[in-house]
Amino acid sequence: YLNATAGTCEEMMKRAIFARELGAPIVMHDYLTGGFTANTSLAHYCRDNGLLLHIHRAMHAVIDRQKNHGMH
């Protein structure tokens, strides 16, 4: 798989296209850091191009387990 999470939606899509060109069957995306709109765009691209999308939640533990993380 290839992690497509990026700082911009455009870069994320470039990574997904690159993953497809490499023949990677799975693209991974961290939905908390990438955002819901970026996730939807990537989901549509993956569905239309035969890729499996794995949604990762790497930042989820920071929000749920840390009581003083500064995000409320």
Quote the domain boundaries for residue 7.
Answer: 2-65
Q: Is residue 71 part of a domain?
A: no
pLDDT at 60 over 70: no
Would you state the pLDDT for residue 71?
57
On whether residue 37 sits in a domain, the answer given is yes
Task: Please tell me whether the overall predicted TM-score, pTM, comes out greater than 0.85 for this model.
Answer: no
Q: What is the pLDDT of residues 4-57, one digit of tens each?
A: 888 898 999 999 999 999 999 999 998 888 888 889 999 999 999 999 999 987
Query: In the 3-class helix/strand/coil scheme, how is the chain assigned residue by residue?
Result: CEECCCCCHHHHHHHHHHHHHHCCCEEEEEHHHHCHHHHHHHHHHHHHCCCEEEEECCCHHHHHHCCCCCCC
Phi, psi of 5 (to 5 degrees): -60, 130
In a domain, 57, yes or no: yes
Q: How many domains does the chain have?
A: 1
